[in-house]
Amino acid sequence: MAVATNQLRIIGGKWRNRKITFSANVEIRPTPNRIRETLFNWLAPHIEGAICLDLFAGSGALGFEALSRGARHVTMVDKSPEVIKTLKKNAVILGTENIDFFCVKFTPKLKNFFIHKFNIVFLDPPFYKNLIGLCSQWLEQQNCLANGAFIYIEAESSLKDLQVPKNWKIHRSKVAGQVRYSLLYR
C-alpha cells in the first residue's frame, strides 16, 4: 500500500524553490513558509557553517532549509521510521551528504548520542505534550549545545511560559495564528 505524501517548497538558498515530500502523517506539522522565512532572516548572520540539530524533524523543512542556506551539517531526529525513510530520500534527491538521521523517540532519560555540539537547534515538538521544558533541560544536561547557540522553539500560541533554562534568553519572538515561535540564545 502506498503511503500518502505532501510537498513543501524550500524558500531560500541553493535549493530555493525545490520541493521535498513528507508523510501525510497527522503528527507532522511543517513550519509554514512565512514563519520559516522570518526565522531564517533572524538566523541569516549565524547560519553559514553552523552545525544544526532538528530534534523533531517531521517534514525536514527546517533542517533542509538550513542546509540550503549554508549550514555545514544537520542532524535530524524523529521517532518514526517512515519519516526517517522519507527524509533520507529527500537528502538523496537534493544531493546532500552533510546530514545524519536518527530514528529515536525523545525521552528525558535519553543519553546524548550526538557527535557534534550544536550551534543551532530547531525544537518543534508535537503541540500540547509539554515537551519544551523537558527537551531544553535535556539539551543543557547532556551538553549538546555550543557556547552562544541559538535555539528555535515552535509551540502552541497558548503556551505562555516556555520553561527553558535560565541561561537561555529570548532574542526574538512572534505569534502567527495558532503558533508561537521564538529564537533564543544561550
Output the domain CATH number for residue 21. 3.40.50.150
What pLDDT is attached to residue 29? Answer: 77
Q: pLDDT grade, residue 160 (50/70/90)?
A: confident
Which residues contact residue 51 at a Cβ distance below 8 angstroms, ignoring those fewer than 6 apart?
A: 71, 72, 73, 116, 117, 118, 119, 120, 146
Per-residue pLDDT tens digits for 2-54: 555 788 899 999 999 999 988 776 577 778 889 999 999 999 999 999 999 99
What are phi and psi for residue 26, nearest 5 degrees? -65, -20
Q: Which residue has the higher pLDDT, 28 or 150?
A: 150
Please give the grid coordinates belonging to residue 49.
Answer: 557553517
Q: What is the pTM of this model?
A: 0.92
What pLDDT is attached to residue 25? Answer: 66
Q: What is the mean pLDDT of the chain?
A: 92
**CA-to-CA distance for 106 and 167, rounded, in angstroms?**
22
Number of domain units in the chain: 1
The boundaries of the domain holding residue 81 are 5-185
The DSSP letter of residue 82 is H
Closest CA to 47 of 118, 145, 124, 144: 118
Please state the rounded mean pLDDT for residues 91-117: 93
- Report the amino acid identity of residue 15: W
**In terms of DSSP H, where are the helices of 130-173?**
132-141
